Structure formats: C-alpha cells, structure tokens
A and B are shown apart, each in its own frame.
Chain A
Amino acid sequence: DGGITQSPKYLFRKEGQNVTLSCEQNLNHDAMYWYRQDPGQGLRLIYYSQIVNDFQKGDIAEGYSVSREKKESFPLTVTSAQKNPTAFYLCASRKGQSYEQYFGPGTRLTVT
C-alpha cells in the first residue's frame, strides 16, 4: 500500500528540548511539505522540498529545521527556539504540478 506515514502519532516534550518528527512516503513523489495546524485554524506552511537535498522556507519557518537526504523522507525538527510548538503537524507529498497533495495522518505535539 502506497502512502505517507508520520510518527509518532502523539509526542510529549518538555520545554527547551528539540524534537524530530518523522515523515516517510513510498509514493515516489518529488515534493514534500510540512504544515502546522493550531486548534480551529487553517494550515500554515513551515518548509517544503521539491527535490532531494533542496528545501525552501514556508511562511513560519522560524524555530524549525528540515533535511531531505532521501526522496522518501523529510524529517522536521522543532527546536527550542520555536516559542509555541504545541500544535498538530501535517506532512504532505505531491507528485508534481497539477496533482493534489496527499497528507499523512499527522503528529500531535504537546510541549509543557
């Protein structure tokens, strides 16, 4: 079965700790994305990558970092510099132009 997996589903961390969220896809998609969603809000783009070893900042990249060493994987690190990291994080991938994005199941991060 092709799809996007995100792990873990729920993540709890103490303030001041960095945390890495996993995103893997076996759809052979070139582009991958990270979004943040706060309760009752829309999606905000954190980072995206169109090809391996290249990525661009989205609208709210501060306090986050990513890597794209393999086509299948696009991990997101939430650093201690991110002031309000508690949110629902969604990873997505896309085959190319004129195709929709497919979303993973999401990771709910709680930082206390």
Chain B
Amino acid sequence: ELKVEQNPLFLSMQEGKNYTIYCDYSTTSDRLYWYRQDPGKSLESLFVLLSNGAVKQEGRLMASLDTKARLSTLHITAAVHDLSATYFCAVDIIGGSGGSNYKLTFGKGTLLTVNP
C-alpha cells in the first residue's frame, strides 16, 4: 500500500523567511502533484512533476522531485501572507504493467500560516 507523508503538518512562519515542506512516499512512482487549498475552498493544482529531477517554479514556490529518494520538496522563498493555505502532495500509484490505475494518494496536508 502506498503511503505518502508530509512534514511538517503545521508550519507558522514570518513574512520574508524561507522554508521547505517535504513529501515522502513509500513505493516506486515518478509522478507527483502539489495542490493548494484555501480555507473552505476546493483544491487548486500547483505543480505536476513527472520525472526524476523535475523542478517547477511559480512565483515564490518551487517544487522538485527525487524519485530515487522517493521525496518531493516544496520550497517557499520570502514568504508573504497570501501564501497562507494548506498544501497537499499527491502521488500516482504505478501498476504492475507500468501504467497507473488513475488513483492518486494524498498526503495529510501542511497548514502554512505566514505571519506579518
């Protein structure tokens, strides 16, 4: 069974600081996704990482994937209040045939609070 663990689960940081959220997973996969959820809202796709060494950046957020270590990171640079949200990573299960059964496994989410 695929397990996806995020840490930290709660992160309170000051504006202007840098920090990294980690997403570990337990089985072979080279497809990982990051999502953002604002309070009371749905999930919004942030990044799609589809190969070892993939790196994507959008504004103050940068995501990377190391499939050998089974680890993805979401790095926050010079945080601003608008980044306050819950961030989820999700991993594809790769089936025996090399394909996916279309089911993503989500981490529990990291609640990020950026304080002035």
A48 contact set on B, CB distance < 8 A: 102-103
Interface size on B, residues (CB 8 A): 24
Whose C-beta in chain B lies nearest to the C-beta of A37? Answer: B37
Partner of A42, one of B99, B100, B103, B109: B109
A30 to B33, CA, bound (A): 19
Whose C-beta in chain B lies nearest to the C-beta of A94? Answer: B102
- Determine chain B's interface SS by DSSP, over half rule: strand
A92 to B108, CA, bound (A): 18
Contact A101 B104 (CB under 8 A): yes
Contact B45 A100 (CB under 8 A): yes
Is B43 at the interface (CB under 8 A from chain A)?
yes
Partner of A103, one of B42, B99, B102, B108: B42
Contact A98 B33 (CB under 8 A): no
| Known interface pairs A42-B106, A42-B108, A43-B106; A97-B100 also in contact (CB < 8 Å) | yes
What is the interface of chain A, defined by CB distance below 8 A to chain B? 30-31, 33, 40-43, 45, 48, 50, 58, 90, 92, 94, 96-106
